[in-house]
Amino acid sequence: MRNSWVEEFWRLLFVLLLAAIAGLLSGYFLLAVCLALLAYIARNLYNLQRLISWLSQPDRASVPVHFGIWGGIYAMVERMRSAHSQRERRLSDLLGQFQASAAALPDAAIALGPMGDIRWFNDAAQQMLGLRRPLDLGQPLVNLFRTPELVQYLRARDFSQALEVTAPGNRSRKLSIRVTHYGDGQLLLLAQDVTERYLSEQIRKDFVANVSHELRTPLTVISGFVENMQIDEASVPQQWRKPLDLIADQAERMRHIVEDLLLLARLESASKESPREPIDVSELCRGITREAQALAGERLQIEVQIASDFGLAGDPVQIRSAFTNLVVNAVNHTPAGGHISLKWRDEGSSSCFEVADDGEGIAPEHIPRLTERFYRVDVGRSRERGGTGLGLAIVKHVLQKHGAALEIESAIGEGSRFTCRFPAHRRISMSA
Amino acid sequence: MDKSELLQHYSHQFNNDLEQIRSAVLAMGGLIEQQLEKAIEALRSAEVEQAEMVVANDYKVNAFDVDIDERCTKILALRQPTASDLRLVLTVIKTTADLERIGDEAKRVARMAIRTGSSDPGRNLYLRIEHLGSQVRQMLHRTLDSFARMDVDEAIEVAHEDRKIDREYESIMRQSMTYMMEDPRSIPLLMDIIWSARALERIGDRCCNICEYVIYFVKGKDVRHTSLEQIQKEFGE
């Protein structure tokens, strides 16, 4: 631009010089200079007008003026325009690439505005959910995808867990839905077809339940007859008495495992939340303590401490089963002379049932896997003690149904503490 | 009447209110779709627990009904809408009433499922009911879609489907009567089947009504007592 000003300056000077010469020659110096300046102004106004009309009707081929300031202005505007259109082309390319890759996604992707209105969706979404382009753009998604669970899910705005629903309009397919926030209050909804996974889960669960059921009957028959033989001692030869006892023990163990498996199958297949019956936890704890003390005999000291007035709303059988499992585990894994303490206490807005022992403890690498079915820390030892390997899995499932969490703390040689933390909405006051 | 007209309102809040009652109707529709699906599934697989859930959830349907009626009344009183806005509110009110009835019929089907439990005779007829059930479910789904999209063509097509459903229902009736004459002991069970089929057929009729409301809303013309052929002639595009 500086060159332009310089050019302009020289031009003005030239014009004035001409005017001066003409003025001196004609004798009307001032007049000549005035006329020259007027002409200069008029010329500039004319150029201004040309600029205005050029800006409103851009015709890139013909830039009217190349000289002076005006030329400079035209050049600047040209540069701005070309930079702008380059940027636009780049953006449009990027957008095209993105849309192509999104179209290729096998999962359905839908971009939603803050009010849940459909901003954009890919081809997979079109197929999976029956959406139509461009008709459905701007429509709230829940007007078309009306499954009540999804409506609830989007309203609650809690996307920490994926949601599994049946596909609308095609109830044989199951979809797993995930939502993430992005941009300015916008949401991205991804739906994945998980029918295969769901079906194989179902098959697995059915298999386990069926097998367990089928095993029950033969086991009952075996146990029954073995018991008869044990009672009628006289008819059993001496050498077979001990083997018979062993058979009875093993049959009993198998029966336990089958019962636990069936319980787990029932827990898995039933509804998400357990029913709400009142449970007197302090009474339950005392009862369990008595039973555990009977089981442990002289070997261990078991005490109970009730520090909360609350009871629980849940399934009494399940809760009893879960608590008993924890206590029996403690009894089995604490050597003679040890202590086990049960506590029922409040902590903030939750209430905790705690079983602590000063037994052998559990190494940190085992702790995350403890609640897996049949997971054993020390295979040989715990099998001997008659555990089924399913106790903690049962505890975990029961707690899940009650909205509770299981916390495990342990150190080798010092002991372990298992805590069941129940949320406020499962507590009931036992003042009655 | 198109969507852009719906959006030109001096009052943003008014606009929101109208959108809200539309969404509320569709949410109610979604719940009822699920109720119907569960009821039919329970009838097919004799899952009494599922059927009991349907009966238990009927209160949610009624809650929707009351809520939407309240909102519509408020809009009518406070905003005194005219033209297409008024038609929208009226359409919503009528659709809600029909949806609530559909919910009742679904509950009836569920009750039937609880009663028949796991008894097995007339397997053949059960299959027909299942077929009728899935046709009706489809019809309801398409009806609600056409309401959401204000799609007249879809609405006319869906109304057509009702004929198929009526024919299916009649054939189930005839077959039931044949079975009843053959074996009078099966009459109680067959009565239940007939009631279920009737409930499903009525759901089909209600869906037809809702389609007529959609046409009324979009085209501004009341087609409730006009024959399907005439509707097609006038609006067939």
Kindly report the CATH number assigned to the domain that includes residue B206: 1.20.58.220
Average pLDDT over residues A403-417: 89
Do residues A163 and A207 share a domain? no
Phi, psi of A252 (to 5 degrees): -60, -40
Q: What is the mean pLDDT of chain A?
A: 86
Phi, psi of A280 (to 5 degrees): -85, 100
**How many CA atoms are closer than 13 Å to the CA of A90, on its beta-carbon side?**
6
Do residues A301 and A422 share a domain? yes
Q: Which of A31-35, A167-171, A418-422 has the largest mean confidence?
A: A418-422
CATH number at residue A143: 3.30.450.20
Q: What is the ipTM of this complex?
A: 0.83
Q: What single string gives the DSSP state of each residue in A166-217?
A: EPTT-TT-EEEEEEEEETTTEEEEEEEE-HHHHHHHHHHHHHHHHHHHHHHH
Contact at CB, B27 and A140, closer than 8 angstroms = no
Do residues A128 and A218 share a domain? no
Q: How confident is the model at residue A94 (pLDDT cuts 50, 70, 90)?
A: very high
Contact at CB, A148 and B34, closer than 8 angstroms = yes
CA distances from A332 to A157, A361, B91 (A): 45, 12, 69
CATH number at residue A317: 3.30.565.10
Mutate to test the interface with B, among A135, A142, A146 (most CBs of B within 10 A): A146
Distance between CA A215 and CA A262 in Å, rounded?
A: 11
Q: What single string gives the DSSP state of each residue in A86-146?
A: HHHHHHHHHHHHHHHHHHH-SSEEEEE-TTSBEEEE-HHHHHHH---TTTTTTSBHHHHS-
In 3-state terms, what secondary structure has residue A71? Answer: helix
- Residue B192 pLDDT more than 50? yes
b/e sequence B216-236, b meaning 16+ C-beta within 10 Å: bbbbeeebeeeeeeebeeebe
Contact at CB, B19 and A140, closer than 8 angstroms = yes
Contact at CB, B30 and A130, closer than 8 angstroms = no
Q: Does B29 touch chain A (CB under 8 A)?
A: yes
Q: What torsion do the CA atoms of B126, B127, B132, B133 make, to the nearest 10 degrees?
A: 70
Do residues A294 and A388 share a domain? yes
Contact at CB, A146 and B144, closer than 8 angstroms = yes
Boundary residue ending a domain (A64, A82, A99): A99
Looking at chain A, the whole-number percentage of residues with pLDDT higher than 90 is 21
Q: How many domains does chain A have?
A: 4
Pick the residue with more confidence: B188 or A357?
A: A357
Q: How many domains does chain B have?
A: 1
Chain centre to alpha carbon of residue A300: 44
Output the pLDDT for position B58.
92
Distance between CA A175 and CA A124 in Å, rounded?
A: 13
Residues of A in contact with B29 (CB under 8 A): 146
Output the pLDDT for position B237.
46
Range of the domain at A31: 2-99
Residues of A in contact with B26 (CB under 8 A): 142-143, 146
Q: Does A272 touch chain B (CB under 8 A)?
A: no
CB pairs under 8 A between A and B: 41
Residue A29, token pair as written in the block = 């110096």
Residues of A in contact with B149 (CB under 8 A): 132, 135-136, 139, 144
- Residue A102 pLDDT more than 60? yes
Boundary residue ending a domain (A193, A208, A241): A193
- Residue B94 pLDDT more than 80? yes
- Residue B14 pLDDT more than 70? yes
- Residue A10 pLDDT more than 90? no
Output the pLDDT for position A142.
93
CA distance B148 to chain A (A): 6
Q: What pairing do the DSSP bridges indicate for beta strands A163-166 and A174-182?
A: antiparallel
Q: How confident is the model at residue A33 (pLDDT cuts 50, 70, 90)?
A: confident
Q: Does A118 touch chain B (CB under 8 A)?
A: no
Residues of B in contact with A140 (CB under 8 A): 19, 23
Output the pLDDT for position A191.
93
Element (H, E) at A277: strand A277-279
Of all residues in chain A, the one with the smallest CA distance to B21 is A143
Average pLDDT over residues B68-93: 92
Residues of B in contact with A272 (CB under 8 A): none
Distance between CA A246 and CA A269 in Å, rounded?
A: 35
- Summarised one tens digit per residue, pLDDT across range A348-402 is 888 999 999 988 888 888 888 888 887 777 766 656 666 678 888 899 989 988 8
CB B86 within 8 A of CB B77: no
- Residue A59 pLDDT more than 70? no
User: Cα B60–B62–B66 angle (5° rounding)?
Assistant: 120
Output the pLDDT for position A390.
84
Q: At a CB cut-off of 8 Å and minimum separation 6, what does B14 contact?
A: B75, B79
Do residues A234 and A368 share a domain? no
Q: How confident is the model at residue A417 (pLDDT cuts 50, 70, 90)?
A: very high
Output the pLDDT for position A161.
81
Q: What single string gives the DSSP state of each residue in B74-134?
A: HHHHHH---HHHHHHHHHHHHHHHHHHHHHHHHHHHHHHHHHHTT--S-HHHHHHHHHHHH
Boundary residue ending a domain (A236, A269, A302): A269
- Residue A317 pLDDT more than 90? no
Average pLDDT over residues A263-280: 78
Output the pLDDT for position B165.
93
Range of the domain at B150: 3-235
Contact at CB, B145 and A148, closer than 8 angstroms = no
Average pLDDT over residues B182-208: 89
Do residues A257 and A135 share a domain? no
